[in-house]
Amino acid sequence: MRLRTQTNAMKALLPALFLAIVSVTAVFAKGGPAINDKCPVDGKAVRIIYRVFTDKGTVAFCCVDCMDTYQKNPARYTVTPKTPDK
């Protein structure tokens, strides 16, 4: 009986695991990792789900409002690249 319960639990986890793998792959498939750590509009820490693909690379933002603001006038904002880890 215990084996059946474990098998059912594993079957229930497989779709969630698959979705997690697909989500992570989708984030990095186009454009790669973000070139910045701080939002160019607000200065806060970025979240990779809010991103714009530019010639310089993937620019990330702290929220959707900052992303929309940047897209309206990208020349107005300076994107500070990440500092290399030492």
* Torsions phi, psi for 13 (to 5 deg): -80, -25
* Statement to judge: residues 23 and 36 lie in one domain: no
Domain that holds residue 84: 31-86
H/E stretch holding 50 reads strand 47-53
What is the domain count for the chain? 2
pTM, 2 dp: 0.62
* Statement to judge: residues 52 and 25 lie in one domain: no
* Statement to judge: residues 41 and 3 lie in one domain: no
* Statement to judge: residues 14 and 3 lie in one domain: yes
Place of tokens 């989708």: 26
* The one-letter amino acid at 63: C
3 state SS of 34 = strand
3 state SS of 82 = coil
23-80: per-residue pLDDT in tens?
655 555 567 899 999 999 999 999 999 999 999 899 999 999 999 999 999 999 999 9
Beta bridge partners of 41: none
